[in-house]
Chains A and B, each alone.
Chain A
Amino acid sequence: MLELRLVQGSLLKKVLESIKDLVNDANFDFSSSGFSLQSMDSSHVALVALLLKSEGFEHYRCDRNTSMGMNLGNMSKMLKCAGNDDIITIKGDDGSDTVTFMFESPTQDKIADFEMKLMDIDSEHLGIPEAEYHAIVKMPSAEFARICKDLASIGDTVVISVTKEGVKFSTRGDIGTANIVLRQNTTVDKPEDATVIEMNEPVSMTFALRYMNSFTKATPLSNTVTISMSPDLPVVVEYKIAEMGYVRFYLAPKMEE
């Protein structure tokens, strides 16, 4: 028996919107402490890791660990039928080949349930070790989205370089080049507007902008984004979900030929 009631249902809608274009289908792993998902895109270049902890739910019941394979496009279609203020409940029964999403309006005058077929998914799980990163940049998520969108109109790849001077995003394309430098800026009115650079060693890496732009679909989940880089590791782009968990995107770098 599985029953999870999320008062802030819009959060689940936002999570799905942030990952459904990167990953077609995925296993949702439910346990008593919360639920998680890990899935690579079809080219094995990017990976999404989602965690939503049980504490963030108004009601959370998971009698035994269970994994449910869901098509994220279909799940997104169903969650789009929930209002932004709706309470969303996910229900499942042991051995069933369906999952039910229940949507309740805040005034309880409209209650809908949508039953979705589950699917068998051969998931390839990767072990992601804890790592010490050379540089960690925390910045406003909207600023990061703006930079990725702007650079993608000039080139296909972005070089992200972190030095003690700041973080530089560079691209080049047929029409020319672009460089955007952000300096550490902690003298802001609101902490979420700060750019904070933690650097142990300078690092410079190249990534495909197409993926970075896909990750920025998670912008509505968090005011800030954290970018962690080490030369011998995929970059981690993390959007924290307040009080509940995170959506992390891992992206393999491009290497010099």
Chain B
Amino acid sequence: LGSQTVLPIYFRHL
């Protein structure tokens, strides 16, 4: 059913 991605792939850490 697809692999779960995580947010830090899309948004950078400040």
Main secondary structure of the interface of A (DSSP, over half): loop
- B10 A234 Cβ-Cβ under 8 A: yes
Number of interface residues of B (CB under 8 A): 14
| Closest A residue to B11 using CB positions | A126
Contact size range, A: 20 to 34
- A126 B6 Cβ-Cβ under 8 A: no
Complex Cα gap A234–B9 (Å): 10
Complex Cα gap A155–B1 (Å): 10
Complex Cα gap A59–B6 (Å): 39
Complex Cα gap A147–B8 (Å): 28
| Closest B residue to A253 using CB positions | B5
Minimum distance in angstroms from A124 CB to a CB of chain B: 6
Task: Tell me whether A111 is interfacial, beta carbon within 8 Å.
Answer: no
Task: Tell me whether A206 is interfacial, beta carbon within 8 Å.
Answer: yes
Contacts of B3 in A (CB 8 A): 254-255, 257
Minimum distance in angstroms from B8 CB to a CB of chain A: 6
Task: Tell me whether A175 is interfacial, beta carbon within 8 Å.
Answer: no
Contacts of B5 in A (CB 8 A): 45, 252-255
Contacts of A110 in B (CB 8 A): none
Residues on A close to B: CB < 8 A?
40, 43-47, 124-129, 155-157, 206, 208, 232-234, 250, 252-257
Contacts of A40 in B (CB 8 A): 7
Known: A126-B14, A127-B14, A233-B10. 20 other contacts (CB 8 A): A44-B6, A44-B7, A45-B7, A126-B13, A127-B11, A127-B13, A128-B11, A156-B1, A157-B1, A232-B10, A234-B7, A234-B10, A234-B11, A252-B5, A252-B6, A252-B10, A254-B1, A255-B2, A255-B5, A257-B2
Contacts of A47 in B (CB 8 A): 7, 11
Minimum distance in angstroms from B1 CB to a CB of chain A: 5
- B14 A252 Cβ-Cβ under 8 A: no
- 9 A/B residue pairs, CB under 8 Å, sorted by A: A44-B8, A45-B5, A126-B13, A156-B1, A234-B10, A234-B11, A250-B7, A255-B3, A257-B2
- A45 B13 Cβ-Cβ under 8 A: no
Minimum distance in angstroms from A3 CB to a CB of chain B: 28
Contacts of A45 in B (CB 8 A): 4-7
Contacts of B14 in A (CB 8 A): 125-127
Minimum distance in angstroms from B13 CB to a CB of chain A: 6
